Amino acid sequence: MRRISCRADIDLGIGPALLTRHIAVDIGVAEVAALLVGGGAVDAAILGGVSRLVVDCNRDEEAPGAVPIASDGHAIPGNALGHAEREARMVRFFQPYHDHIAATIAAHRPAMILSLHSFTPSLASDPEQARPWHVGLLYNEDDRLAAPAIAALEGEGLTVGDQLPYSGKLLNATMNRHAEANGIAYVGIEMRQDLVADAAGQALFAERLTRMVGKLALSPMLEACRGA
């Protein structure tokens, strides 16, 4: 499993402190993913391996946000790239990530895919926006596992955002490409980053998600997915 980082040969033109913020990394996700794999809840985890300020692998390839020139009010001057430079970024980071996911699915088709992310409880660019949810659940057209996943997380005593803090109808590029296009059931999980910022919070969320995955594995909806 690879940790997310910025590459030394890429100058984004921003201070190093920003590379630890939500604009650069899904805080807590790598650690929770490692716990899920280590505990046997999931078979494997695939991480992007690079800061999303370098390339956001969870966008459509041609989307402006795939190589963002600004994020949450912070300019990213090193991303003012020409066409050739942008394409080189895509070849180096974006394409291998998606090729690896596709190859993994082709070699061993999973019963379901868990897409794991984290979100900031507050935005610098919109401080009035309230984000009280402990966890959000995202999906697009395939909502077969949405209801049982929400029920499982609510059963953990969590406040769950259904298509919040943003909608999977809009931000679902990786799952659209690898899950929906292949008819594989999935859920997108957005954990509030302050709840997974330390080892104790990460362990607690991994336990919650392990129980959720166990319930989904027994769900009639997943059985219907296997039979589809």
**118: closest CA among 97, 133, 104, 128?**
133
Contact of 139 with 170, CB cutoff 8 Å: no
Please report, for the chain, how many H helices and E strands are present, in that order.
Answer: 7, 6
Residue 50 in domain: yes
Q: How many domains does the chain have?
A: 1
pLDDT of residue 226: 53
Residue 9 in domain: no
Single pTM value for the model: 0.91
Tens digits of residue pLDDT in 166-214: 999 999 999 999 999 999 999 999 999 999 999 999 999 999 999 999 9
Query: Regarding beta strands 112-119 and 185-192, do their DSSP bridges make them parallel or antiparallel, or are they unpaired?
Result: parallel
Domain of 154, CATH number, reads 3.40.630.40
Residue 6 in domain: no
- The whole domain housing 130 covers 16-227
Residue 151 in domain: yes
Residue 88 in domain: yes
Q: Is it the case that residue 25 has pLDDT exceeding 80?
A: yes
CA distances from 84 to 63, 89, 91, 193 (A): 16, 9, 10, 35
Residue 11 in domain: no
pLDDT of residue 126: 79
Residue 134 in domain: yes
Residue 120 in domain: yes
pLDDT of residue 166: 92
